[in-house]
Amino acid sequence: MRDGKMSGVSDTAVEPRSAVQIHRDSPLRRFSGLRAPQGSRETQNSHTKKKRTRLQSVDDARECLAVSAGKRGMASPGGHWDCDSGVSFDVSPSVSGHSSPCPGINPAKLIAMDCEMVGTGLGGRCSEVARCSLVNYYGEVVYDKYIKPQQPVVDYRTRWSGISKCHLVNAVSFKKARREILQILKGKVVVGHALHNDFQALGFIPPKHLIRDTSSTHLLRQLSGFSGRGCISLKRLAKVLLQRDIQVGQKGHSSVEDAVAALDLYKQVEGPWEEEMMMRTQSPMENSPFMEPVFSPSHYMQDQYWPEEITKPCE
């Protein structure tokens, strides 16, 4: 997602912390099973044995992910992951080619999304979606189309969007694209960065508990070691946690590249994140302004949560 989409980006960094440290410092640690060793030596040994099956650090997580992916044949011949090119027609294996060591989310029920915007209306101040990319859990592109805005384009924002006039000549209509996109998203967990911008442009917001927004989770903020207020840019998170440079060059951003980056950031904290969601599902706090009942993704497949038009066949 574009850095310019969010304000108040924090650049203050401190020493990165491991996923285990996040667990130990969190008030949710009593549910996680990652308690600090205490008591007798026998108790410590018992705890140590239990921890051997868990992710001890970010490095361990990456190693575990790489081994798991290797079994699926997703690694490149050199043993390294091939980065997604971000080009619409190029579906090369991405860093997201690995599978998750965490059982919380069914890979078939997760989609990562990113949209690129152009400016319409007075002074080009209105943002309309002009490209939308959806990738599955393994980083494979399942949807990537240019979309014709409903109003005349005043500012293509090419420096950030990567979109120019030629891209929209044969673009699909917004009405058709919206229907196609929502059909894919129906009942899925949606991963992305600053997703409220994309949902606003699409004119739709899915149930809160099907959203995994990497710009707002405290887990990535703690893991990256950033302090201060405001959302952290996707570009900076990718650099710190993925050692990956994105949104570089003179041709603008790629919604495929940004979607894959958000997906890989989600996987860095997938276990703790889904554990929190599961805990909230099992132990909803009544009358709390900070906690709402959580239902399984299958619950939100019911048509009451989705616009009527997405049940119609695409024209």
- Domain ranges in the chain? 3-18+57-311
Q: Over its length of 315 residues, how does the chain's per-residue pLDDT go in tens digits?
A: 444 444 444 444 445 555 445 444 444 443 333 344 444 455 455 444 444 444 344 444 444 434 333 333 333 333 333 333 333 333 333 455 444 445 567 999 999 999 999 999 999 999 999 999 999 999 999 999 999 999 999 999 998 999 999 999 999 999 999 999 999 999 999 999 999 999 999 999 999 889 999 999 999 999 999 887 778 999 999 999 999 999 987 777 899 999 999 999 999 999 999 999 888 766 544 433 333 334 444 444 444 444 554 444 444
**Could you tell me which residues come within 8 angstroms of residue 93 by beta carbon, excluding any fewer than 6 positions away?**
74, 76, 81, 82, 84, 139
Q: Which CATH architecture has domain 3-18+57-311?
A: 2-Layer Sandwich (3.30)
DSSP string, 197-265: HHHHHHT----GGGEEETTT-HHHHHHHTB-SSSPPPHHHHHHHHH----S-SSS---HHHHHHHHHHH
Contact (CB, 8 A) for 96 and 88: no
